[in-house]
Chains A and B, each alone.
Chain A
Amino acid sequence: MSALLEVNNISKRFGGLQAVDRLSLTVNEGEILGLIGPNGAGKSTVFNLINGVYPPDGGSIVFVGQDITGGPPYRVARQGIARAHQIVQPLGGLSVLDNCTVGACFGRQGLGLVPAREVAREVVDMIGLGDRPDMLAASLTTAGKKRLELARALSARPRLLLLDEVLAGLNPTETEGMIETVHKIRDSGVAILMIEHIMRAVMSLSDRIVVLNLGSKLAEGSPQQVADNPEVITAYLGDSKLLSVAEKPA
């Protein structure tokens, strides 16, 4: 396995808040890497740094051997990184197919309209929206919009897909379906970096996990390794040292 994305020592500060602090991570060709951490750990900021929404204060981001540090996002998308946002961002007045066509036009291959539509059609089928390509994006259900968000990102034919909480807000059946879809995407050769709060899902999907806490890497390893890590357990369940006081008789 070779490294597809190398994030080296990146930092980002917002006013008094060190949102990301000298973080390094690698996503290998063909793997699913889960990025987890308590609320406010800096996960979405890491995504924003990778796809160039804003530049890091320091450090570098190298994708397929090229320095992509600092974006801008449209150029990062052309280089082969696509992103499905946590808060879905469909073009509500366009159909499912047209949304994906836009993704293909501005993606890695920068396709013209006709081939873009072909790619879009393929992806729409693969993602499970093949029964309603002409439906307006705005009239899809939440689960449908989540799938469309994924489909539009995938239409860019990325080599790396950033998934930001694609399971949030889905019911159990839809969640199962989406997990299957994520597997299918990986099997098609696309590497995935995913942020996910539904721990059962991210633990079963990921090949490796990176745990963020307060902007830095707390742990890294297989799902089982990180779940057994005492520091990870403290970050999620709270510090047991507070107990010493709570247990004193009143």
Chain B
Amino acid sequence: MSEILLQVEGLEAGYGDVQVLWGISLKVARGTMTTLLGANGAGKTTSLRAITGAMCPRGGKVVFAGEDVTWLPAHAKAARGLVLVPEGRQLFSNMSVEENLEMGAYSRRARQHFRQQLDHVYTMFPRLKERRNQKSGTFSGGEQQMLAIARGLMAMPEILIIDELSLGLAPVVVQQLAETLKGLKASGVTVLLVEQNLHLALALSDYAYVIAEGRPFLEGPSAEVAAKPEIRQAYLGL
């Protein structure tokens, strides 16, 4: 197996009195796409928030490229290349496409490579180039998701963590995004994906972790996980 880029061990996190994660562990190998699956309320978004520093974990460990980054703030993690594409896109809706992309390249490292990364992103998403001066708030849901991914790429990620790729999008748009993700993977970007459509997530990814009620439920190569009847239990309880 290739180098482990991201390793999470026994992650615990919660909100106020409510503990959501009770020991989540996962590994992401460089150059692969890994998916984190589970029913509503299982703790997927909380896991991503705790990994990326959008919230402070209560316990456990996040090791990124050999460095313990558990307690680093989100901006320091992003500067190292641990980049989140948040659920619901969270674009700057009054800014143009290009301004949003500039915001993605905020860290010093990303700023230095701004021009070449912008060219790279525009080659990957010609549609964004066509509309570089349009306000992002006027975009359709699918275009916004594309821009959110592009903004994430502008941060020069070592790993791109995507929360709810297809939420609220029409099937045809989801299929386009799936193609985008395959392209990303082919270009060598490491991806950790949270996706509500289990079939899509398993078809796109190499390895899958399924969590339930804030705990590990099962894991394995995606093709094997897809064939396991137990996976239904994680979602339906029976």
Contacts and interface: CB of A to CB of B under 8 A. Distances in A.
Given A171-B19, A223-B238, A240 B199 contact: yes
A199 B197 contact: no
A236 B236 contact: yes
A198 B235 CA distance: 9
Interface residues of A, number: 33
Contacts of A168: 41
B118 to A, nearest CB: 24
A209 to B, nearest CB: 10
Contacts of A246: 175, 178, 182, 199-200, 203-204
Nearest to B213: A198
Interface of B is mostly: helix
B166 to A, nearest CB: 8
A39 B171 contact: no
A239 B199 CA distance: 7
B18 A233 contact: no
Contacts, number: 88
B103 interface: no
A199 B236 contact: yes
Contact of B238 (A142, A198, A203, A237): A203
B232 A238 contact: no
A92 to B, nearest CB: 15
Interface residues of B, number: 33
Nearest to A246: B203
B138 to A, nearest CB: 19
Nearest to A198: B213
Contact of B171 (A171, A172, A227, A242): A242
Interface string B187-209: 00000000011111001100000
B40 A38 contact: yes
Contacts of A203: 236-238
A147 to B, nearest CB: 13
Contacts of B179: 245, 250
A249 to B, nearest CB: 9
Contact of A250 (B174, B183, B213): B183
B235 A199 contact: yes
Nearest to A225: B238
Given A169-B17, A197-B41, A242 B236 contact: no
B74 to A, nearest CB: 25
Nearest to B181: A246
B72 interface: no
Interface in B99-131: none
Contacts of A142: 16-18
A132 B18 CA distance: 21
Interface in B210-238: 212-213, 231-233, 235-238
A201 interface: yes
A227 B238 CA distance: 6
Nearest to B18: A169
Contacts of B185: 250
A18 interface: no
A131 interface: no
Contacts of A96: none
B186 interface: yes
Nearest to B176: A245
Given A203-B238, A223-B238, A237-B197, 12 more contacts: A171-B19, A172-B22, A197-B39, A227-B238, A237-B231, A237-B235, A242-B171, A242-B174, A242-B175, A243-B199, A245-B175, A246-B178
5 contacts: A200-B237, A201-B237, A227-B237, A238-B197, A250-B182
Interface of A: 38-39, 141-142, 168-169, 171-172, 197-204, 223-224, 227, 232-233, 236-243, 245-247, 250
Q: Lowest 10 A-B CB distances belong to which pairs? A: A199-B237, A238-B197, A227-B238, A142-B17, A246-B203, A169-B18, A200-B237, A203-B237, A245-B175, A250-B182
